[in-house]
Amino acid sequence: MAKRKILIFPNASLRRKAERVVKITDRTRKLAEDMLETMYDAPGIGLAGPQVGVMQRIFVMDCSPKDGDADPRVFIDPELVWESDEVEKREEGCLSFPGQFADVFRPAKVVATFLDIDGDPKEEEFEGIHARCVQHEIDHLNGKLFIDHVSLVKRQLIKRKLAKEMQERRERK
Ligand code: GNR
Ligand code: NI
48 within 8 A of 114, measured Cβ to Cβ:
no
DSSP states of the chain: ----PPP-TT-GGGGSPPBP--S--HHHHHHHHHHHHHHHHTT-SEEEGGGGT--BSEEEE----TTS----EEEEEEEEEEE-S-EEEEEEE-TTSTT-EEEEEEESEEEEEEE-TT--EEEEEEEHHHHHHHHHHHHHHTT--GGGGS-HHHHHHHHHHHHHHHHHHHHH-
> What's the CA-to-centroid distance between 45 and ligand 1, angstroms?
6
Ligand 1 neighbour 49 (Cβ under 6 A): no
Q: For residue 91, which atom of ligand 1 is closest to its CA?
A: 6
Q: What is the CATH number of domain 12-172?
A: 3.90.45.10
139 lines ligand 1 (CB under 6 A): no
92 lines ligand 1 (CB under 6 A): yes
Q: What is the pLDDT of residue 70?
A: 97
Split the chain (173 residues) into runs of 10 and give each run's mean pLDDT. 96 98 96 98 98 98 96 98 98 98 98 98 98 99 98 98 96 88
User: How many residues are recorded in the chain?
Assistant: 173
For residue 95, the model assigns a pLDDT of: 98
Q: Is 137 a catalytic residue?
A: yes
Q: Is the pTM of this model over 0.95?
A: yes
Domain ranges of the chain: 12-172
Ligand having the closest approach to the CA of 62: 1
Q: How far apart are CA 34 and CA 116, in angstroms?
A: 16
Say how many Å lie between the CA of residue 44 and the centre of ligand 1.
6
